Structure 1
Amino acid sequence: MTKMTGGEAIIESVVANGVDTIFGIPGAQIYPLFDGIYKHKLNLIVPRHEQAAAYMAMGYAKSSGKTGTFAVVPGPGILNTTAALCTAMGNCSPVVGLTGQIPSSFVGKGRGHLHELSDQTGTLKSIIKDAFSIADPQQTEAVVNQAYATVARGRPGPVTLEMCWDIMAAQAEVELPATVVPATDTVDVDPDSLAAATRMIVQARKPMIMCGAGALHAAEEVRALAELLNAPVTAFRSGRGVVSEDHPLGLSAVAARQLWDDCDLLIGIGSRLEMPYMRWGNYMQYESKPSSGPKLIRIDIDPGQMETFIPDLGIIGDAAHVCRQLVDQLQTKVSPDPDRLDDIAGAKAVAWQALQKVQPQMAYLDVIRQVLPRDGFYVPELSQMGFTTWIGGLPVYQPRTFVDSGYQGTLGYGFPTALGVKVANPDKAVVSVCGDGGFMFGVQELMTAVEFNIGVVTIVVNNHSYGNVRRDQEMGYGGRFCGSELRTPDFVKMAESFGARGYRVGTPAELKPILAKCIELDQPCLIEIQSERGQESSPWEFIHPQGTL
Structure 2
Amino acid sequence: MGSEHTDATTGGAALVEALIVNGVDTVFGLPGAQMYPFFDALQRRGDRIRTCGARHEQACGYMAFGYARSTGRPGVYAVVPGPGVLNTAAALSTAYGCNAPVLCITGQVPSGFLGQRRGHLHELPDQLATLRSLTKWSARVERVEDAPAVIDEAFRRMLGGRPGPVAVEMAWDVMAARAPVRALPPAVPEARPRPDADAVARAARILVAARRPMIMTGSGAQHASVAVLALAEALAAPVAALRGGRGIVAEDHPLGASSYAAYRLWPGTDALLGIGSRLEMPYMRWRGMMTYVREPGPSPALIRIDIDPEEHGRLVPEVGLVADAEDGARALLDAVRRLRGGRGAPDRSARLAEVAAAKREARAAIGVVQPQLSYLDAIRAALPRDGFFVGELSQVGFASYFGFPVYAPRTYVSEGYQGTLGFGFPTALGVKVAHPGRAVVSVTGDGGFLFAVQELATAAQEGIGLVTVLFDNHSYGNVLRDQNTGYGGRVIGAVLDNPDFVALAASFGVDAVRVDSPEDLGPALAAALAAGRPALIVVAVERGTEASPWPFIHPAPVG
* TM-score band, normalised by shorter chain: over 0.9
Q: Which residue is equivalent to 2:106?
A: 99
Q: Which residue is equivalent to 1:352?
A: 363
Cα distance in 1 for residues equivalent to 2:387 and 2:410 = 10
Q: Which residue is equivalent to 2:274?
A: 268
Q: Which residue is equivalent to 1:34?
A: 39
Stretch moving more, 23-32 or 183-192:
183-192
Q: Which residue is equivalent to 2:319?
A: 313
Work out which of the residue numbers 250, 255, 261 in structure 2 matches 1:249: 255
Work out which of the residue numbers 467, 489, 498 in structure 2 matches 1:488: 498
Q: Establish whether residue 144 from structure 1 lines up as the match of residue 155 from structure 2.
A: no
Q: Which residue is equivalent to 2:390?
A: 379
Instruction: Measure how far apart 1:333 and its partner are.
Output: 2.9
Q: Establish whether residue 14 from structure 1 lines up as the match of residue 24 from structure 2.
A: no
Q: Which residue is equivalent to 2:204?
A: 198
Q: In structure 2, what residue type is equivalent to 1:306?
A: H
> Map of 1:103-502 to 2, 5 A cutoff?
103-178=110-185, 180=186, 182-183=188-189, 185-291=191-297, 293-334=299-340, 335-336=345-346, 337-391=348-402, 393-502=403-512
String of CA shifts for 1:482-521, please: whole Å, max 9, x gaps. Answer: 1000000100000000000010000000111110000001
Residues 209, 266 of structure 1: 8 Å contact kept: yes
5+ residue gaps, structure 1: none
Q: In structure 1, what residue type is equivalent to 2:411?
A: T
3-state SS, counterpart of residue 453 of structure 2: coil
3-state SS, counterpart of residue 39 of structure 2: helix
String of CA shifts for 1:280-323, please: whole Å, max 9, x gaps. Answer: 00211112121474110010011110111111111000110111
Residues 12, 177 of structure 1: 8 Å contact kept: no
3-state SS, counterpart of residue 444 of structure 1: helix
Cα distance in 2 for residues equivalent to 1:20 and 1:253 = 36
Q: In structure 1, what residue type is equivalent to 2:32?
A: G
Q: Establish whether residue 546 from structure 1 lines up as the match of residue 556 from structure 2.
A: yes
Instruction: Measure how far apart 1:547 and its partner are.
Output: 6.1
3-state SS, counterpart of residue 458 of structure 1: strand
Q: Establish whether residue 23 from structure 1 lines up as the match of residue 28 from structure 2.
A: yes
TM-score, structure 2 as length reference: 0.96
Q: Are the structure 2 counterparts of residues 361 and 150 from structure 1 closer, same or farther at C-alpha, using a change threshold of 3 Å?
A: same
Q: Which residue is equivalent to 1:71?
A: 78
Cα distance in 2 for residues equivalent to 1:184 and 1:252 = 34
String of CA shifts for 1:75-122, please: whole Å, max 9, x gaps. Answer: 111111000000000111100000001000110111111111111111
Cα distance in 1 for residues equivalent to 2:557 and 2:236 = 23
Q: In structure 2, what residue type is equivalent to 1:67?
A: P
Q: In structure 2, what residue type is equivalent to 1:269?
A: I
Residues 205, 339 of structure 2: 8 Å contact kept: no
Instruction: Measure how far apart 1:466 and its partner are.
Output: 0.2
Residues 208, 266 of structure 1: 8 Å contact kept: yes
Instruction: Measure how far apart 1:127 and its partner are.
Output: 1.5
Cα distance in 2 for residues equivalent to 1:370 and 1:164 = 51
3-state SS, counterpart of residue 264 of structure 2: helix
Q: Are the structure 2 counterparts of residues 148 and 540 from structure 1 closer, same or farther at C-alpha, using a change threshold of 3 Å?
A: same
Q: Which residue is equivalent to 2:69?
A: 62
5+ residue gaps, structure 2: none
Residues 288, 557 of structure 2: 8 Å contact kept: no
Cα distance in 1 for residues equivalent to 2:235 and 2:441 = 35
String of CA shifts for 1:31-54, please: whole Å, max 9, x gaps. Answer: 010111011112111000000001
Stretch moving more, 330-339 or 317-326:
330-339
Give the ranges of 4+ consecutive aligned residues of structure 1 lying more than 2 Å apart after TM superposition. 181-185, 332-338
Residues 155, 187 of structure 2: 8 Å contact kept: no
Residues 155, 189 of structure 2: 8 Å contact kept: no
3-state SS, counterpart of residue 66 of structure 1: coil
Cα distance in 2 for residues equivalent to 1:308 and 1:333 = 30
Cα distance in 2 for residues equivalent to 1:279 and 1:547 = 8
- Aligned-residue sequence identity (percent) comes to 53
Cα distance in 1 for residues equivalent to 2:183 and 2:238 = 51
Q: Are the structure 2 counterparts of residues 32 and 54 from structure 1 closer, same or farther at C-alpha, using a change threshold of 3 Å?
A: same
Residues 261, 293 of structure 1: 8 Å contact kept: no
Q: In structure 2, what residue type is equivalent to 1:110?
A: R
3-state SS, counterpart of residue 34 of structure 1: helix
Instruction: Measure how far apart 1:350 and its partner are.
Output: 0.1
Q: Are the structure 2 counterparts of residues 310 and 547 from structure 1 closer, same or farther at C-alpha, using a change threshold of 3 Å?
A: closer
3-state SS, counterpart of residue 412 of structure 2: coil
3-state SS, counterpart of residue 399 of structure 1: coil
Q: Are the structure 2 counterparts of residues 386 and 292 from structure 1 closer, same or farther at C-alpha, using a change threshold of 3 Å?
A: farther
Residues 7, 36 of structure 1: 8 Å contact kept: yes
Q: Are the structure 2 counterparts of residues 55 and 185 from structure 1 closer, same or farther at C-alpha, using a change threshold of 3 Å?
A: farther
Cα distance in 2 for residues equivalent to 1:53 and 1:182 = 26
Cα distance in 2 for residues equivalent to 1:478 and 1:109 = 52
Stretch moving more, 291-300 or 446-455:
291-300
Cα distance in 1 for residues equivalent to 2:512 and 2:417 = 32
3-state SS, counterpart of residue 331 of structure 1: helix
Q: In structure 2, what residue type is equivalent to 1:65?
A: G
Instruction: Measure how far apart 1:185 and its partner are.
Output: 4.1
Instruction: Measure how far apart 1:339 and its partner are.
Output: 1.0
